[in-house]
Amino acid sequence: MQNRLETLFWSAFGAIVTVYALIPVAWIVSLSLKRPSDLNDRRFFPSEISFDNYRAIFKDAQFPAALWNSFGIALIATLLSIMLAMFTAYALVRLEFPGKKPMLVGVLAVSMFPPVSIIGPLFNLWRSLGLFDTWAGLIIPYMTFTLPLAIWTLAAFFRELPWDLDKAARIDGATPFQAFYYIIAPLAAPGVFTAAILVFIFAWNDFLFATSLTSTNAARTVPAAIAFFTGSSQFEQPTGSIAAASVVVTLPVIVIVLLFQQRIVAGLTAGAVKG
Amino acid sequence: MAEIVLDQVSKQFPDGTRVLHETGFTIHDGELFILVGPSGCGKSTLLNMIVGLEDVSSGEIRVDGRVVNELDPKDRNMAMVFQSYAIYPHMSVRDNIAFPLKLAGLPKDQIRQKVEQAAELLELGELLERKPAALSGGQRQRVAMGRALVRDPAAFLLDEPLSNLDARLRVQMRGEIGRLQKRLGTTMIYVTHDQTEAMTLGDRVAVLNRGKVQQIGSPRQLYQNPANLFVAGFIGSPGMNFVPAEIGPDNLILPFGSVKLPEGFGECTPQKLIAGFRPEAIGLDSSTDNGQSLAFSVTVDIVEWLGAELFVYSDLDLPKPSTGYANDLFDNGRITLVSRLGPEAPVRQGEQLRLRLNVRDIHLFDYETERRLAFGGDDWLD
Ligand SMILES: Nc1ncnc2c1ncn2[C@@H]1O[C@H](COP(=O)(O)OP(=O)(O)OP(=O)(O)O)[C@@H](O)[C@H]1O
Ligand SMILES: [Mg+2]
């Protein structure tokens, strides 16, 4: 009895939170599917489903270019950031070296730094270095600002790995690379995917750097591009296009998370060592 | 096959802990060599150094005459069972056991056959497709054993491989390991806490304490001619009894009486001595005095009946004017003596009991150096 009530309570609670979080999303999806003339009809569901808004944003050269920029920049930033973070986290967890503690604290300090405070100087610096409005101009700050998060996530994860297994593999006749490939990498994969998804989402969703450090289709990403949408006439709000673009830009994140969800299973290392 | 020589090997960890002090001994080719010692004495560290997981701070490790200090673990071709098992959680039992063979590049059908052989030996047959998370502690330990035993290494290093098994499996596996080692003739180093394993399994046993080898010898040598107080107390269960002792003009003075000095004890001149005797050296006082034994009374404290034998723990008060050193060693002048009696001995808790100690069973130790000085009986020679 107790158990049924408890289950009921938790399911109800979960349902409420989910609905609460999904209402804005549903609203945007609904808006994007309305005909431009129905936008202000004050109804939650579109009276007639139309894909005009989607057609419109893809007809404009701006949006596909922004989508391409977003993908490229976010992927490269994620790859670089995770790669660096993996080496750093490995060193922090596995090696003894002077200055280990200050380094961890320093990494944390970087993540506390408010990005908005360096936008101005960065703008000037990028212009004189020729990085303004380039992919590299966004990849570098994304990498920098996601590194602390990635390092801490990965370090926490690596710390939990049973490193005795690495030794066991070496004794079983594996080279260091084979030990890494057959034993450590499969066990570390969930942690790496978790960190990678976090980094990707940060880079994908960023608006601040994207608006300040880009000016054309050469490097402008979707969040920034949406802000520059115009209506079909100067008196019309681009609400429908913005809604459609928002839906399109959300899809990849959902797909990625769903794809990797099964890989992010906890407890994969259970049973490796005693105790 | 390998002869492993440790030549003045020391180990100091980066944090300054010295774990091994100039340890030197030789493990002969094809020998089953047992390493025992209390927790934290450096047994696992020593194995890790032999197999190449910890580097050697000073000294040399030689395998078949070749210095291996700098050799990579995989090139040493040794199989090891870790104290922590260290089995691969993302692989099935079969893949775990097959892993070293796969790395060695054996053909598939041969791997299959070897894995199944090992699984049969270790009673893992039905568990081959399971993941480690779904195994019990003892089953995991057997998987770890399997991974070592499928190989054909230069040496097996087993770090407490049976510690998590139940009594039946432990006895059975102990037998299997012994037989397997004899059959293969491969050098094996076996670390254990278990007295029975140490005494029954090995050709030779090394007793380690605080990073120093105390004694190396056959189980009988260790039991009958312990080199010092530590070995005497460590080998045997329950351990040896120790009491303060003094040499008189022509007699040996123990807290509960004195007895004519047996030949051989005359040369012991240090003032501070400790006498040690095994539980089985004390019997019920039934015989008459032949000048070679000492009878005394005790109060029975605890009686442990184990079916085939009876252990009697009795308290003994040291006489008041006992020497100072005895008080440091023997906890405010009280000594507990253990005696091993026949299971039918009519002994009850709280009773007064007459016991008799044979002088030929007494070992004398120097209190300062803790070394054994003399023995009433004859030393065991192999
Ligand atoms: N990495 C390390 N740094 C410092 N000290 C260590 C390290 N590893 C082990 N020690 C110390 O070395 C000593 C020996 O450890 P070891 O694991 O060899 O003991 P052991 O004889 O195997 O004990 P047990 O029977 O409990 O397994 C211990 O006192 C331990 O605290
Ligand atoms: Mg150990």
Smallest CA-to-CA distance from B217 within B236, B229, B231, B230 is with: B231
Is-contact B185 B178, C-beta < 8 A?
no
- How far is it, in rounded angstroms, from Cα B262 to Cα B268? 11
- How far is it, in rounded angstroms, from Cα B61 to Cα A243? 72
Ligand 1 binding pocket, CB closer than 6 Å: B 13, 15, 17, 19, 37, 39-45, 83
Q: Across the interface, which of B53, B100, B133 has its CB nearest the CB of A167?
A: B53
Span A219-243, average pLDDT = 81
Q: What is the pLDDT of residue B246?
A: 83
Chain A: residue whose CA lies nearest to B140: A271
- Is residue A143 scored above 80 in pLDDT? yes
pTM of the model: 0.79
Is-contact B165 B138, C-beta < 8 A?
yes
Domain(s) of CATH 1.10.3720.10: residues in chain A: 57-273
- Counted residue by residue, chain A has a size of 275
Encode pLDDT of B149-175 as tens digits: 999 999 999 999 988 888 888 898 898
Locate B310 and state its tokens.
């009876």
| Atom number of ligand 1 nearest to Cα B42 | 18
Span B226-248, average pLDDT = 89
| Atom number of ligand 1 nearest to Cα B37 | 21
Ligand 1 atom 16, closest CA: B42
Locate B177 and state its tokens.
């390991």
CATH class for the domain made up of A57-273: mainly alpha
A94 in contact with chain B, both atoms CB, cutoff 8 A: no
Encode pLDDT of B193-232 as tens digits: 888 899 998 889 999 998 899 999 999 999 999 999 999 9
pLDDT band of residue A267 (cuts 50, 70, 90) is very low
Q: Nearest-CA distance from B166 to chain A in Å?
A: 16
- Let me know if A66 is exposed, middle or buried by CB neighbors in 10 A (0-12, 13-18, 19+): buried
- Is residue A50 scored above 50 in pLDDT? yes
pLDDT band of residue B313 (cuts 50, 70, 90) is very high
- Is residue B321 scored above 60 in pLDDT? no
More confident residue, A30 or A39: A30
Is the Cβ pair A174, B103 closer than 8 Å? yes
Most confident residue range from A210-219, B269-278, B320-329: A210-219
Chain B residues touching residue A182 (CB < 8 angstroms): 99
pLDDT band of residue B267 (cuts 50, 70, 90) is low
Cα B18 to ligand 1 centre (Å): 10
Q: What is the pLDDT of residue B217?
A: 94
Is the Cβ pair B88, A168 closer than 8 Å? yes
Best residue among B9, B36, B45 to mutate for probing ligand 1's pocket (most ligand atoms within 8 Å of CB) is B45
- How far is it, in rounded angstroms, from Cα B224 to Cα B281? 12
Chain A residues touching residue B164 (CB < 8 angstroms): 274
How far CA B162 is from CA of B42, B144, B182, B191, in Å, comes to 19, 10, 18, 10
DSSP character string of B138-202: HHHHHHHHHHHHTS--SEEEEESTTTTS-HHHHHHHHHHHHHHHHHHT-EEEEEES-HHHHHHH-
Encode pLDDT of A190-230 as tens digits: 888 888 988 999 999 999 999 999 998 899 999 999 888 87
Q: What is the pLDDT of residue A94?
A: 83
Distant-in-sequence, close-in-space partners of A13: CB < 8 Å, separation ≥ 6 = none
- How far is it, in rounded angstroms, from Cα A51 to Cα A58? 11
- Partners of A83 in beta bridges: none
Is the Cβ pair A171, B89 closer than 8 Å? no
Is-contact B294 B280, C-beta < 8 A?
no
- How far is it, in rounded angstroms, from Cα A228 to Cα A63? 10
Q: What is the pLDDT of residue B333?
A: 63
Chain B: residue whose CA lies nearest to A275: B84
Is the Cβ pair A171, B131 closer than 8 Å? no
Is the Cβ pair A272, B103 closer than 8 Å? no
Distant-in-sequence, close-in-space partners of B50: CB < 8 Å, separation ≥ 6 = B4, B6, B61, B78, B155, B157, B189
Cβ-based interface (< 8 Å): residues of B facing A = 14, 51-53, 72-74, 77-80, 82-90, 99-100, 103-104, 131-135, 137, 140, 147, 151, 164
